[in-house]
Structure 1
């Protein structure tokens, strides 16, 4: 018998249904409900092949919301962070280079230049 332990305790997710976490299971059910709803709405008007594609495309966003993780953030957290950084708090970034070596030796360079001016006179 082998027990798997995550290296990082924050990565632990409890499997509730069918090996899925509660969040993944909830969004999977929503994806199925969206696909079934789209099927019954589009079936009288479209052919069966087109209806199947509509069902798949309608279910994908819900499935992605359940399984998406980026830098430890869920889909909602990521979308909120993106909206804040891109729309609510836009800023203009200006690049200004710094020459740390020059800043450190600035006084020595000026003294050397002054000495050079005196010797040429």
Structure 2
């Protein structure tokens, strides 16, 4: 029997890791909104998720240590994306490129997408638990 998280959860496991990383970057931008010469950063979520799907990111593979262990397939692991500098709509005089309204909107959108993926994964786990119990 092969247990594949890719088949069970789809892209959502990788997306959760990327959403968490993006949330941290956006929170850092908001925290430094008044810091002179601070440059706003973000990640290109679509390209990062595409790389994660293609298996180009960092992956940790499980290793069977006994011949009777179940096989595990997939590229589950710690997915990360490159942080890029955001092009400002209107830079301030002190060199700070953080636009608070843009950052708040991006943070809220990211949080909603994170919660949607988390609810999907939670639903799948509950479905698998029900199947295992035979209810």
TM-score, normalised to structure 2's length?
0.28
Larger radius of gyration: 1
- Bigger fraction of residues in helix: 1
- Bigger fraction of residues in strand: 2
- The one of the two structures with greater contact order (alpha-carbon pairs below 8 A, sep at least 6) is 2
